[in-house]
Chain A
């Protein structure tokens, strides 16, 4: 807290330098953005995702979830790996590395609310691709735990393509989190939407 106060004071005293050189395009306050993230957010990332980013964020989550017991931490890690992987593979927004690898772009956030952590991922999707995923999420949320396990067994048996493994990923996430998937789909254009998945994980898992 003390540290924050000091920074605020300092910010009041400094002037923005070099603004005119940016030709008025700098209309974004990083300080406000930082303050927004200070509210319950432990880690946030936006940008391309690959195994190196996943590795670093995966390790960092472990460092900041201090209130979580080992079992909770292991759950958060498992959930993170599946959801981040989905953004990497299925985001409609992507970039290519020099070697031609496609990296999906998206946002990953882990927050802390009372006795739980919330892990959220979001990315742009093509509406035509997301329909079956939404249907799957509705099925996942409608099933009790035993039926969900049966669903995982059944789905694991189906083909081995990437799309399918993503669907098992969501079933796995719901089973690991022991909570439903909180799905939000916001249209961003005629054929694309922003798709986000949030799950809650208790800080103390028995």
Chain B
């Protein structure tokens, strides 16, 4: 099993920067997410998580540091959170940190992810 390293790009589409490490179980998604094939992009990340959970069975720490994501991406982010929630229910050790622009709207968005998935997410505000 290998790490995932994707360098973010801001061109016509926006690819987020992704770093998933097998050795530490540390996963970070940052930058902006507006993709041509959103589901395909995130399917690869979810596949990695499922493999890690099945084979490595270690802890997972997730840092979400997205400054922008469109609604299609938000569906895929919920899919990621669902996988984490299931792993936690099955006894896996997880920690999820969500960094958000310090506005009421962004805070509501994180709170809605928490309500939607039933997952504990640490809300970490950053000034814009």
Interface residues of A (CB under 8 A from B): 50-52, 54-55, 70-71, 74-75, 77-78, 81-82, 85, 149, 152-153, 156-157, 160, 165, 168-169, 172, 175-176, 178, 205-206
Are the CB atoms of A156 and B78 closer together than 8 Å? yes
Enumerate B57-98 residues with CB–CB distance to A below 8 Å: 68, 70-72, 74-75, 78
* Min CB–CB distance B123 → chain A (angstroms): 15
Q: How many A-B residue pairs have CB under 8 A?
A: 51
Interface residues of B (CB under 8 A from A): 11-13, 34, 36, 39, 68, 70-72, 74-75, 78, 101, 103-105, 108, 112, 115-116, 128
Complex Cα distance, B34 from A54, in Å, reads: 11
Chain B residues with CB under 8 Å of A206's CB are: 104
User: Would you call the interface of chain A mostly helix, strand, loop, or mixed?
Assistant: helix
Complex Cα distance, B125 from A68, in Å, reads: 22
* Min CB–CB distance B82 → chain A (angstroms): 10
* Min CB–CB distance A140 → chain B (angstroms): 14
Besides A70-B128, A206-B104, 5 new A-B residue pairs in contact (Cβ under 8 A), listed by A number: A50-B12, A160-B39, A168-B71, A168-B75, A178-B105
Complex Cα distance, B14 from A81, in Å, reads: 12
* Min CB–CB distance B98 → chain A (angstroms): 16
Chain B residues with CB under 8 Å of A52's CB are: 12
Residue of B36, B39, B71, B116 most packed against chain A (CB within 10 A): B71
